[in-house]
Amino acid sequence: MTFRAFTWNVSSEQADFLFDLFNWILIIGAFAVFVGTIGAIKMGTARDFFADARLRDHERAISAANAAAADANERAATVEKEAQQLRAANLMLEKQIQPRRLSGEDSTKLEAGLSKMQHLPICIVSRFFDPEGTDFADDLANAFNKAEWPVVRQRNWTMSQRGVAIASLEGTNLPPELTKTLVGALAGAGVEATVTVISAANQNTTSPYFQPGLLYLLIGVKP
H or E stretch covering 221: none
Instruction: Categorize the per-residue pLDDT at 58 as very low, low, confident or very high, splitting at 50, 70 and 90.
Output: confident
Query: Do you know the residue count of the chain?
Result: 223
* pLDDT one-digit tens code per residue, 24-33: 888 888 777 8
Of the candidates 147, 96, 101, 159, the one whose C-alpha atom is nearest the C-alpha of residue 122 is 147
State the DSSP string of 159-198. ---BSEEEEEETT----HHHHHHHHHHHHHTT--EEEEEE
pLDDT cut 90: percent of the chain above it? 48
The CA distance from 60 to 54, in Å, is 10
H or E stretch covering 120: none
Q: What is the mean pLDDT of residues 113-119?
A: 95
Residue pair 109/189 in contact (Cβ under 8 Å)? The answer is: yes
Among 78-82, 99-103, 182-186, the range scoring the smallest mean pLDDT is: 78-82
Q: What is the mean pLDDT of residues 153-174?
A: 93
DSSP-assigned beta bridge partners for residue 195:
166
For residue 10, the model assigns a pLDDT of 63
* pLDDT one-digit tens code per residue, 1-54: 444 444 556 677 777 777 777 778 888 887 778 777 887 787 878 788 888 788
**Other Cβ atoms within 10 Å of 132 Cβ, number:** 16
User: Is the entire prediction scored with pTM above 0.75?
Assistant: no
